[in-house]
Amino acid sequence: MFEKLKGYHVEDGKVYFRYEGDYEGKEPCVEVISDTIINVFVDYTGLGHRSRAIEWERQGQNDTKEGAEKGKLESVSQDESGVIIKTKKVTIIVGDNFHVDFYDHEGMPLSLAHRGERKKNAALSASLLAFLAKEGHAASGSIIGDYPIQEVRSLEDKDCIYGLGDKTGFLNKRHYAYEMWNTDNPNPQEDNFKVLYKSIPFMLVLKEKGAYGIFFDNHGKTYFDMGKEGEDYYVLGADEGNLDYYFIAGENLKDVVTDYTYLTGRAPMQQLWTLGFHQSRWGYESEEEIRGIAKGLREHELPCDCIHFDIDYMDHYKVFTWNKETYQDGGKVISDFKDMGIKSVTIMDPGVKVEEGYYVYEEGMKNGYFAKTPKGEVYVNEVWPGDAVFPDFGNPKVRKWWGEKQKYLVDLGVAGVWNDMNEPASFRGPLPNDIVFTDEDMPAPHSQMHNVYGHNMAKATYEGWRELTGKRPFVITRACYGGSQKYTTGWTGDNHSIWAHLRMAIPQLCNMGLSGMSFVGTDVGGFGSDCTPELFARWIQIGCFSPFFRDHCAKGCRMQEPWQFGPEVLAISRKYINLRYELLPYIYDLMHECETSGMPIMRPLVLEYDKDENVKNRNDEFMLGDRILVAPVVEQGAKEKLVYLPKGVWYDYWTGEKIEGNCSFVRTAPLDVCPIYVKAGAVIPKYPVRMHVGEDKDDLLILEVYPGEGTYAHYQDNGEDFAYRQGAYNTYQIHNLNGQVEVFKQHEGYRDYEKIKVEMTAGFQKK
Ligand code: MIG
């Protein structure tokens, strides 16, 4: 492979390296994308970059995108250490063996190639695997060795690792090993699951000083050993494809998130109603039953914006059909719900039932839109409708077709689509690796297209809805890849009604947010298993602050609507759903911030306080934006919570008590209390509680003011379409000088609030 460095040349702003050794002319390359984003690339396949995540044209170093300040290659030179490439912010030294080292502008190492031996401390040989299998032990280790494509980089003692999408376990991923292979596994998710539904091959490393990210842009199967094999290094591996990664240098984690979402796109603003409460269940067996749910929500005075129709609504689980026997006339129930202020979202699976005469199947067959075996026959596996075929979403024509098919739902009055089973999941064993799909303009095997199947399905859905409705498409997905945030929101799939999964929800959602997927949520109350009243009450308290707030549950499990657990839990549910509706303008502002800078709505404390040792491994608290800290109870039976507050002055949301941060303390937390803290000087914009978004014209804005000094930027638009991109929005700059509040209109492009009401919080009385 790459042995001794011989020289380099620059072409089109890219630096290519020549080595001794046999590498078949595949010269490795370093490309400066911006001052802080560097691409490292070896074109093993000879196909160039074939990214599904980065969709803007990269035209070398001079490309500019959306006004972002593009970096440039400042200088390239060579000395005895190697080839030295400089940008304004980063120095890259490329040496023998294609070791690539990154330094910050002060010359401090940010990330170095690992040069020592690998430790192989948990190596599993094939014979050991066979031995373990005898008694039914699943091997928990991986076979350690070299991957065909691989990058091994150093870790320092203090480094913490975050991101990696929807992985289970804890916030800090260091010492664990993961794989990227979109997987539907209905077993209760454990801390050490290697794979889950989504593959977001992006990691963030927080160092004692500075931070960086690596986006390992290979959508085949990849491996992330985050310091399990060896304490002082991590391994990125892939079975096939190119070595193609983006190094992102930052002063802090926020810089890294901003750059990553610059590269792969930002989660766009959703319609305002999508931030409301959603009610769902698999197994609302009939129209009568689902109508009862809508009635129940209103009778119990529970604000709600959306009911989800799971696979039960389809005729024999055939996509783009309606079960007229059990669900009668789809259009009628949907329009009746609309009259109650409730939108309808329908589930959509990729698998198309094999059935002569079924129009979706026939159309797809006629046009060759389904994946094929290497022999050229349409590939069949089993999913809910029985024998089914798989749309080849990597083919732009298939995406267009699928997008147009959405008209069926749009015409029924459906308001958004929930894409499930798009790993793709299959009942008769996994799809073989050699099933033939399309990757845009060329055939590609399942092994390459698996991890982007959900991504491409989401893209097809998003584009179809955008075309058909002109509104911001609301798409939810179970499977996705890096960059999917441009098209879809997500949920974490089939969790269970167990306390471990309530605890897991926090780091899992926070890491998704750091990985670009900001609009995400867990099934509130848990999907599988039977929820308890206490668990439901605590889950609603986390759901209330999750970007996607949906109560969902599996068929056959105990009923899980908020009124199924008695009056106390119903009242608690109402309290937190009401709070959610009050906070809508605040959360909407955060969604706007996310579109602008990539900052997630729900954040781990470490994103805001990355110098604070006490938050680097904090799994049981999180922030909503940078002003609200939530410290939910996640232990069965607990009536108090050990709260940690970072440096600064905080106010207890419920009592107004002032607390100097940088300390831990015990907060009493009976079942109806989720401890919440607000930063001194904060202004929190609120709406009055209403049963659903748009119940009135959002004409009253309440500004909840906390003691201290601060400024706040509030954003307002029609909450529906893309007019804001043409300037149809208002922004307000709000100054809080210890209760003296001034509001300045900054941008004028939308109708005004009729009234802005300023409310002093309890903190002003309690000095
Ligand atoms: O194999 O559509 O994760 O939310 O309710 C189960 C039925 C298929 C899995 C989804 C879940 C949904 C369920 N689906």
Per-residue pLDDT tens for 589-629?
999 999 999 999 999 999 999 999 999 999 999 999 999 99
Q: What's the whole-number mean pLDDT along residues 722-751?
A: 98
Query: Mean pLDDT, to the nearest integer, of 416-441?
Result: 98
Does 66 have pLDDT greater than 60? Answer: no
b/e 321-353 (16+ beta carbons within 10 angstroms → b): bbbeebbeebeebbeebeeebbbbbbbbbbbbb
- 5-111: CATH number: 2.60.40.1760
- Active-site pick, 420, 523, 608, 717: 420
C-alpha 454 – ligand 1 centre gap (Å): 15
Q: What is the number of other CB atoms lying within 10 angstroms of the CB of residue 48?
A: 10
Ligand 1 atom 7, closest CA: 282
For residue 282 and ligand 1, the question of a CB distance below 6 A is answered with: yes
- What pLDDT sits at residue 60? 39
pLDDT one-digit tens code per residue, 162-208: 999 999 999 999 999 999 999 999 899 999 899 999 999 999 999 99
Fold classification of 272-597 is: TIM Barrel (3.20.20)
Identify the pLDDT of residue 209.
Answer: 95
Active-site residue identified among 255, 494, 561, 608: 494
Establish whether residue 311 lines the binding site of ligand 1, counting it when its CB lies within 6 angstroms of any ligand atom: yes
pLDDT of residue 309: 98
494 catalytic residue (yes or no): yes
**Nearest-atom index, ligand 1, CA of 310:** 2
Q: What angle do helix axes 453-469 and 396-405 make, rounded to 10 degrees?
A: 50
Tell me how far the alpha carbon of residue 420 lies from the centroid of ligand 1, in angstroms: 7
Residue 312 Cβ inside 6 Å of ligand 1? The answer reads: no
589 lines ligand 1 (CB under 6 A): no
Question: Which residue(s) pair with 40 in the sheet?
Answer: 30, 245
The segment(s) of the chain belonging to CATH 3.20.20.80 are: 272-597
SS3 at position 643: strand
What pLDDT, on the 0 to 100 scale, is given for residue 63? 41
Ligand 1 pocket member 350 (CB < 6 A) = no
Q: Which ligand 1 atom is at minimum distance from the Cα of 347?
A: 2
- Is 0.85 surpassed by the pTM of this model? yes
pLDDT digits (tens, 9 = 90+) for 385-394: 999 999 999 9
Residue 138: the pLDDT is 60
pLDDT at 64 > cutoff 50: no
CATH 2.60.40.1760 in the chain, residue ranges:
5-111
pLDDT at 248 over 90: yes
Q: Check pocket membership of 173 for ligand 1, CB cut-off 6 A.
A: no
pLDDT tens digit sequence for 445-458 = 999 999 999 999 99
| CATH 2.60.40.1180 location in the chain | 602-679
- How close is the Cα of 200 to the center of ligand 1, in Å? 21
Is the pLDDT score of 569 beyond 60?
yes
Does 603 contact ligand 1 (Cβ within 6 A)? no
Q: Are the CB atoms for 673 and 695 separated by under 8 Å?
A: no
Residue 545 Cα to ligand 1 middle (Å) = 23
pLDDT beyond 90 at 722: yes
Question: Which pLDDT does position 67 carry in this prediction?
Answer: 36
347 CB within 6 A, ligand 1:
yes
CA 478 to ligand 1: nearest atom: 3
Residue ID of nearest Cα to ligand 1 atom 13: 282
- Tell me how far the alpha carbon of residue 349 lies from the centroid of ligand 1, in angstroms: 9
Span from the CA of 96 to the centroid of ligand 1 (angstroms) = 50
71 — pLDDT class (breaks 50, 70, 90): low
The residue length of the chain stands at 767
| Ligand 1 pocket residue status of 604, Cβ below 6 Å | no
Residue 423: active-site member: yes
255 is catalytic: no
- What per-residue confidence (pLDDT) applies to 181? 98
Average pLDDT estimate for 402-429:
98
> What pLDDT is attached to residue 135?
76
Confidence of residue 62 (pLDDT cuts 50, 70, 90): very low
Residue 136 backbone phi and psi in degrees, to 5: 85, 10
Question: How distant, in Å, are the alpha carbons of 401, 402, 593, 629 from that of 457?
Answer: 11, 8, 26, 35
Which residue in the block uniquely carries the two structure tokens 């167990």? 498
Handedness of CA 723, 725, 730, 736 (dihedral sign): positive
Chain centroid to Cα 324, Å, comes to: 35
Which of 244, 423, 621, 717 is catalytic? The answer is 423
Contact residues for 166 (Cβ-Cβ < 8 A; gap 6+) = 196, 197, 198, 200, 490, 492, 493, 508, 511, 512, 517, 520
Which CATH code is given to the segment(s) 602-679? 2.60.40.1180
